[in-house]
Amino acid sequence: MLFTTLHAMTERFRQRLSDPNSSFGRYRTIAIGQRGLGDLLAYELINTFILPLPGRLGLGLRRLLFPLICAKMGRCVTLGTDCTIRNPFRIWIEDYAVIEDGVTLDVKPLAHNLLIGRNVVVGRRTILNCAGGTLAIDNGTHIGPSCRLGSKKGLTIGKHCRIGEQACCSGAGHAYADRNRPIVEQAVTCKGPTKLGDFVIVGDRATILDGIQIGNNVRIAPDSLVTRDIPDNSLVAGVPARIQDSHS
């Protein structure tokens, strides 16, 4: 009798989970995509009991267990406490990467993949929002705390870049032609993928709009607003950012 009751409860839960219009179905899609009940259970257990654990015990358990729900987790990855991770089966993290405390790794249900390269550092409370195209960070890049990096149509950050505190790569924007509606309620717009070349330095609080192509060895001054493409070996500053100097 008990077995029959448990089986019936499991079947009802499975049906609710597989229904994309139910609350369970919507949560599953946001949390793990279209994976099964076992994957959702592993995700919930790791998020509830392992991600918040401090100290060496927490770090060791995350290294041991997170590969169960991550597309790839390389050797000696440091994954901090209290991170928010959605759709981890679409996240690749290479060897020796450091994901500090409170980071958000958010891959939307219809997005591509989030790729974090070897020796990449992602600072505290930074948000990586993979909302459409692939968000890829190449080897050796350091991202400061409290940044927001989005990828509505794709974001690529090259090798050995330095991105300062509270910097932003805007993955998309909103239309604003209708003055009778709040901007946030108007259509989402995106001018195309954003790309940062190798050895780029982005200053604190700088913002790079969607669809911008930035060359290699570019320096962006703090508090700048980048609204147009930047060629290799340039120093830019201002709102909007303009080329101040070129260097070889």
The CA distance from 13 to 40, in Å, is 12
> What is the DSSP code (8-state) at residue 46?
I
Q: Helix or strand or coil: residue 79?
A: strand
Q: Which of 112, 142, 160, 174 is catalytic?
A: 174
- Residue 144 CA to residue 18 CA, distance in Å, equals 39
Residue with tokens 């993949």: 113
CA-based nearest residue to 228, from 246, 245, 247, 207: 207
Active site residue 174: yes
Give CA–CA dist 171/192, Å, rounded. 9
Task: Decide if 165 contacts 123 (C-beta within 8 A).
Answer: yes
Rounded-to-integer distance, Cα 132 and Cα 137, Å: 15
Q: Which residue has the tokens 């958000």?
A: 104
The residues annotated with a catalytic role in the active site are 174
